[in-house]
Amino acid sequence: MGHNHNHVDPDAGDARVFWAVIVNLGLTVAQVIGGILSGSLALIADAIHNLSDALSLIIAFFARKIARRPADAAMTFGYARAEIVAALVNYTTLIVIGLYLVYEAIFRFFDPQSVDGWLVVVIASIALVVDAATAALTYTLSKQSMNIRAAFLHNVADALGSIAVIFAGTLILLYDWRLIDPLVTLLIAGYILWQSFKEIGPVIRILMLGSPPDINTRQVIAAMGAIDGINAVHHVHLWQMQEHENALDAHLVIEAGKWGEADAIKDVVKAALRDKFAIAHSTLQLECSRHACNHPEIIGHQAGARPSHKPGH
């Protein structure tokens, strides 16, 4: 159940993210000015979203660098989760932006504003080119990291938003249909909220120490228990240390008469976890069958549970 990824050199990846930040900041300034001059809420909505793109890329950029720091006394698991935290920040920001745009669009339905269709179409067309270029810069990286994927989705949403704004500007030019502007804004907001709520779940799952979504915990326990020499498995914890690194700790009860083979049995279990379930980091506590934990939980750790043997067994 391992994963295959086309890895990009970290420095090359950083350069892609850096240039994506630069072009997005330039586009944001142009869109804000164009939105104010044209009176288009949809264009301003796209500009605000584009600013969030730039900010999300900045957060992603620094999170990538922090995540590569080695483990130390303060962060014994390392800093890889910096990217997960960055993804949570970016998706939360997207949700806030989406809700704000819904609020603004609803008010525009009751008070339609005049819109300069030509200016809207021209600036949105430029924005579409920039959004497509930025998405291209981060596409490969987005396959490897939910941090970059969050920033990438910002840009995909922006590109679709630009297409919608061009469509709205064209209808305003042809039919002077002012209600299309807030309607398109609602569509942009709806897409932003849909994508954000869909993607934020896996991020929260990692931060909450949830088990990897593609690994069945019960199957892992059954596989360990089926190995020759294992009498029982309990106190199992399975989680993602970061997006592409799974971890497990558990107590293994060794069958009576096989304590002399305990280390070899543990090695077999570790190999099975690594090869069958892509769990490279496993911590296994061995117990002999006569001195195992009293009434243990299979999954998780029951408060107050104590092994029945003396220290040193």
pLDDT of 178-195, one tens digit each? Answer: 778 788 888 888 888 888
Average pLDDT of the residues in 130-135: 78
For residues 3 and 279, the answer to whether their CB atoms sit within 8 Å is no
The domain ranges of the chain are 10-207, 217-291
pLDDT at 48 over 80: no
Instruction: Give residue 311's pLDDT.
Output: 38
- CATH superfamily of domain region 10-207: Cation efflux protein transmembrane domain (1.20.1510.10)
**Which residue carries 């609020």 as its tokens?**
103
250, 253, 295, 297 from 303: Cα distances, Å: 15, 19, 11, 10
Number of other CB atoms surrounding residue 241 within 10 Å: 17
The more confidently predicted of residues 246 and 109 is 246
For residues 27 and 165, the answer to whether their CB atoms sit within 8 Å is no
The more confidently predicted of residues 108 and 75 is 75
pLDDT at 210 over 90: yes
Which burial class, exposed, middle or buried, applies to 33 when counting CB atoms under 10 A from its CB (0-12, 13-18, 19+)? middle
Residue 217 identity: T
Of 136, 131, 162, 187, the C-alpha closest to 34 is 162
Name which CATH class applies to 217-291. Answer: alpha beta
Measured distance CA(308)–CA(147) in Å, rounded: 45
Instruction: Give residue 6's pLDDT.
Output: 42
The more confidently predicted of residues 180 and 81 is 81
Instruction: Give residue 270's pLDDT.
Output: 96
Measured distance CA(289)–CA(66) in Å, rounded: 45
